[in-house]
């Protein structure tokens, strides 16, 4: 794993000043572990450099962490379980507060309250424990969206799809046309590997057909119903048709690679892919729209996003919290919205002219961000990870032909009911 030490420690640096040698102030070292998808890592390094220029007594080390959410969680848990002070700040998935709260400090004790003004309430609530502790500072929102090739819709005289059936039909028309010249061309790519990202795709299929989000807020298991069966059977039919079989091994960046090469008509992904798509030489014109609707429901985007928590085992909690507030500030959220198309958690930034100019997606999507469907992490805490694994594992078996759709849903229902009985 790449490890970037962005400042060589100068704690023993000797400065020459006015004929005297002065020992520079000892530095406090802060280590932050973040993600590396798209351009996100680089923006943290840039922000850390700015912060250090203003705070010469702080040295910040930015390390990356595994790409897939649950692998990152496993990696972080090894530090938490050893009560390690090696990492001070962790990038926390929106679904983790219930899992990690015992290891993270209450940022309200370090002045978060005054920093929270203007952040979306629903994220603040998501990151607040029932006891009122803020265990992660809101940093960026994610919501699933449909990317489409405007140039190809124009070529085949098609409109942007609004339903899954329209998507299917249009993907097939474009794919069959393009394959005459380009045998690698496919209709629709998404995330089908057995991991957390598949859970978010499944949530969108089911919620957009009014099939619920697996476990209701009253903690009832709702996954086994006709609407979900309809959607799962539909998705199984896509594989080997509009969707290549390889999707069952894809995470976000795999689908983006196919799309970026100009080899897919449609892609489901998060906002980070927007700015990167603008750099693609193979794509003349593209757009983003909401996730299609099923026959019984309305478009539903899965709520994602990442926030910043400070470890209880850090030796420098106050300093780490201060850097967290800087990273979550309007200035840095704006920079990240522009440079990495990461959606802010500060509401008014959706009105910011510079952001809208660089990323028109923010103008169209602020409502979608604010209304995205959460995974059932609050009602299943602290067992959300097991819930998600039950969902994605069984569905993955259905996608690869080892289960029929009904058996997969029945198995998930049984597993979730069992998990909901755990103490």
Residue with smaller CB distance to ligand GLC, 138 or 262: 138
34-93 residues near ligand GLC, rule: CB under 6 A: 69, 93
**Cβ neighbours of residue 326 closer than 8 Å, sequence gap 6 or more:** 47, 51, 332
Residue with smaller CB distance to ligand GLC, 61 or 196: 196
Residue with smaller CB distance to ligand GLC, 224 or 395: 395
Q: Which residue has the tokens 């507060």?
A: 97
Backbone angles phi, psi at 217, to 5 degrees: -65, -15
- Contact between residue 412 and residue 380 where contact means Cβ atoms under 8 Å apart: no
* Nearest-approach distance from CB 141 to ligand GLC, in angstroms: 8
Residue with smaller CB distance to ligand GLC, 91 or 289: 91
Contact code string over 85-124 relative to ligand GLC, x by CB under 6 A? --------xxx-----------------------------
* Nearest-approach distance from CB 305 to ligand GLC, in angstroms: 5
> 61 has which bridge partners?
5, 31
Which residue in 36, 40, 61, 196 binds ligand GLC (CB under 6 A)? 196
Rounded CA separation 82/100 (Å): 14
Residue with smaller CB distance to ligand GLC, 185 or 270: 270
- Contact between residue 192 and residue 201 where contact means Cβ atoms under 8 Å apart: yes
Rounded CA separation 86/371 (Å): 37
**Cβ neighbours of residue 291 closer than 8 Å, sequence gap 6 or more:** 144, 145, 146, 204, 208, 268, 299, 300, 301
Tell me: does residue 197 bind ligand GLC (CB under 6 A).
yes
Residue with smaller CB distance to ligand GLC, 73 or 235: 73
User: Which position's Cβ is nearest ligand GLC?
Assistant: 304
* Nearest-approach distance from CB 325 to ligand GLC, in angstroms: 21
Question: CB 72: neighbour CB atoms within 10 A?
Answer: 23
Residue with smaller CB distance to ligand GLC, 190 or 286: 190
Which of 150, 156, 110 has the alpha carbon at shortest distance from 134? 110
- Contact window for ligand GLC (CB under 6 A) among 9-17, 101-109, 192-200, 236-244: 192-200
Contact code string over 378-417 relative to ligand GLC, x by CB under 6 A? ----------------------------------------
- Contact between residue 365 and residue 147 where contact means Cβ atoms under 8 Å apart: no
Rounded CA separation 160/292 (Å): 10
210 Rama sector, left if φ>0, alpha if ψ -120 to 50, beta otherwise: left
Residue with smaller CB distance to ligand GLC, 199 or 314: 199
* Nearest-approach distance from CB 402 to ligand GLC, in angstroms: 22
- Contact window for ligand GLC (CB under 6 A) among 54-62, 101-109, 124-132, 194-202: 194-202
* Nearest-approach distance from CB 148 to ligand GLC, in angstroms: 20
Residue with smaller CB distance to ligand GLC, 88 or 196: 196
How far does the chain reach from its first CA to its final CA, in angstroms? 37
* Nearest-approach distance from CB 270 to ligand GLC, in angstroms: 5
Q: Which residue has the tokens 């029929």?
A: 404
Residue with smaller CB distance to ligand GLC, 270 or 274: 270
Residues touching ligand GLC, count (CB under 6 A): 13
* Nearest-approach distance from CB 178 to ligand GLC, in angstroms: 28
* Nearest-approach distance from CB 66 to ligand GLC, in angstroms: 11
* Nearest-approach distance from CB 69 to ligand GLC, in angstroms: 4
- Contact between residue 399 and residue 250 where contact means Cβ atoms under 8 Å apart: no
Which of 103, 81, 85, 80 has the alpha carbon at shortest distance from 28? 85
260-279 residues near ligand GLC, rule: CB under 6 A: 270
Q: Which regions of 10-103 does DSSP assign to beta strands (E)?
A: 14-17, 20-23, 28-34, 58-64, 89-93
286-325 residues near ligand GLC, rule: CB under 6 A: 304-306
- Contact between residue 154 and residue 287 where contact means Cβ atoms under 8 Å apart: no
Q: Are strands 137-143 and 303-310 parallel, antiparallel or unpaired?
A: antiparallel
Residue with smaller CB distance to ligand GLC, 161 or 192: 192
Question: Which residues in this chain contact ligand GLC in the complex, by CB under 6 A?
Answer: 69, 93-95, 142, 196-197, 200, 252, 270, 304-306
């Amino acid at each position: 794993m790449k490890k970037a030490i962005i400042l060589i420690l100068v704690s023993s640096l000797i400065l020459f000043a006015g004929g005297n040698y002065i020992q520079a102030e000892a530095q406090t070292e802060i280590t932050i572990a973040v993600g590396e998808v798209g351009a996100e890592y680089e923006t943290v390094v840039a922000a850390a450099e700015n912060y250090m220029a203003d705070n010469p007594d702080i040295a910040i080390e930015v390390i990356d962490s595994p790409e897939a959410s649950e692998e990152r969680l496993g990696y972080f848990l090894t530090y938490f379980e050893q009560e390690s002070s090696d990492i001070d700040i962790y990038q926390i998935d929106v679904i983790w507060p219930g899992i990690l709260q015992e290891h993270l400090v209450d940022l309200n004790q370090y002045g978060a309250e005054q920093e929270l003004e203007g952040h979306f309430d629903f994220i603040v609530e998501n990151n607040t424990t029932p006891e009122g502790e803020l265990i992660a500072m809101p940093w960026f929102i994610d919501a699933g969206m449909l990317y489409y090739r405007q140039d190809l819709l124009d070529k085949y005289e098609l409109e942007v799809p609004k339903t899954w059936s329209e998507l299917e039909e249009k993907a097939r028309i474009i794919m069959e046309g393009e394959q005459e010249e380009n045998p690698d061309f496919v209709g629709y790519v998404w995330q089908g590997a057995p991991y957390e990202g598949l859970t978010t795709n499944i949530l969108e299929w089911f919620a957009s057909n009014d099939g619920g989000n697996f476990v209701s807020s009253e903690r009832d298991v709702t996954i086994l119903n006709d609407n979900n069966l309809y959607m799962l059977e539909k998705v199984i039919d896509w594989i080997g048709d509009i969707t290549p079989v390889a999707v069952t091994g894809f995470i976000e960046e795999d689908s983006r690679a196919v799309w970026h090469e100009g080899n897919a008509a449609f892609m489901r992904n998060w906002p980070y892919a927007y700015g990167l798509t603008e750099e693609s030489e193979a794509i003349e014109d593209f757009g983003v729209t909401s996730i299609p609707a099923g026959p019984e429901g309305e478009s539903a985007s899965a709520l994602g996003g990442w926030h910043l928590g400070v470890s209880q085992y850090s030796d420098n909690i106050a300093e780490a919290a201060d850097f967290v507030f800087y990273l979550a500030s309007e200035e840095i959220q704006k920079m990240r919205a522009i440079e990495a198309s990461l959606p802010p958690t500060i509401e008014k930034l959706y009105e910011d002219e510079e952001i809208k100019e660089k990323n028109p997606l923010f103008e169209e999507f602020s409502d979608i961000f604010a209304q995205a469907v959460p995974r059932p992490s609050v009602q299943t805490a602290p067992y959300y990870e097991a819930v998600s694994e039950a969902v994605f594992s069984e569905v993955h078996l259905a996608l690869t032909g080892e289960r029929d759709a009904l058996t997969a849903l029945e198995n998930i229902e049984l597993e979730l009911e069992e998990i909901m009985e755990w103490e």
